[in-house]
Amino acid sequence: MTFHKLTSSSTLANLMVFPDLTEHSIAIAQEHSMSGIFIGCTEKTGMPFFLNPKDLINPHIFVAGMSGSGKTYLTKNLMIKLYAVLGNQIILIDFTGEYADFSEFAGCTRYDFSGISKVLVKKEPGILYIGLGGMRDKEKISAAINVVEEIAGFMRKRTSGKNRMLYVILDEAWKLLSLDKSFAALIREGRKYGTGIIITSQLIEDLEAGMLSNIATLFIFRIQREASLRRLETDYQLSSAYTHKVQTFGIGECLVMQLGKSGRRDAFFISGVVGLSVGTIIKVKGGVVVELEYRRLEEIITKLTKSDSSELLRKLNSEKAIGLDELIEQLIRLGANKHDILDEMRVAGFKNDDLADAFAIALNKVSFDGK
């Protein structure tokens, strides 16, 4: 049975089981370094890990983790390195505008909906940015489906091994396309046509078993949702000690799981993803430090506050760091609803214990000032 035809989680579990995490050998690291991209060093021995898609059973990648855990940082660096180091073509479909600053930093070609094939047929390495952030939800879905259908049609005209690899990057909104036949075809047939899909999500259970069975490389950053942790334990037979470690990862720490063409299965921890910092990063210091892009934090603050937040935003942009209790205090003073603050901070990746402590300090300061 070939990997790309697997559809059931039970079959997947038999193939991709990692009861004991072992790091790859020096020989494998050296071999991969010749034609792969550097991701980071393994936690146990400090062995450099290079991602080499050609040695894997397929080129697809799944990146899962909470906001602020390092998921987006890795995704951006994968794009840059797959293009600049390995000379591949990249298509970035951005549903929310989260990657707009990145597209300018990376010198991406802006797609004007005049036909993807006209751009890709040139066979030159590069990143094609498709921004859907300014559209209404229905328009986004319609536009994305049209784009994916055109990519699928273009993909089938390619011959694996004779063209540059083509990678399609989809953020959280890939879920909107999960029922589209062309999207399924990219996952199912991509390996044969030299096309890889990189999917990001906050939750592992978002990816149904049939789709997950078609992905050879998984990067798992900090996750605390019980359903996602159970998925790791049941589908991959990871011990509770390992899943507990996933819950307490610091920024950039992750679990890597891969399936090679030879049938080799690797699973190990990365002590920290190494790459380029893209855009302005703000460190929010609670019990753990959560790194958020300035653009993302600006959206949260603008959404929550009723008063002028320009002074707070200037402070963040200037100092690049703020305490979680101070951030919550400032949001309250600017008229933000406490429950909404709590919801946004949870999504950003803060633990309930850290939020409880920060809220207690912030509310005490606000009450003491009589404001």
Per-residue confidence (pLDDT) for residue 333, from 0 to 100 = 93
Is residue 323 over pLDDT 60? yes
Whether the CB-CB separation of 200 and 237 falls below 8 Å is answered with: no
**What's the CATH code, domain 3-273?**
3.40.50.300
For 324, the enclosing helix (H) or strand (E) is helix 324-333
Q: What is the pLDDT of residues 45-54, one digit of tens each?
A: 888 899 988 8
**Higher per-residue pLDDT: 9 or 197:** 197
Phi, psi (degrees; rounded to nearest 5) at 364? -65, -40
Q: How far is CA 133 from CA 113, 114, 138, 145, 226, in A?
A: 14, 18, 12, 15, 31
Confidence tier at 173 by pLDDT (50, 70, 90): low
Is residue 59 over pLDDT 60? yes
Sequence ranges of the chain with CATH classification 3.40.50.300: 3-273
Is residue 261 over pLDDT 50? yes
Is residue 274 over pLDDT 70? yes
User: Residue 126 in 3-state DSSP?
Assistant: strand
Q: Is 88 exposed, middle or buried (0-12, 13-18, 19+ CB in 10 A)?
A: buried
Is residue 3 over pLDDT 50? no
Say which range, 67-76, 206-215, 243-252, 267-276, has the weakest mean pLDDT.
206-215
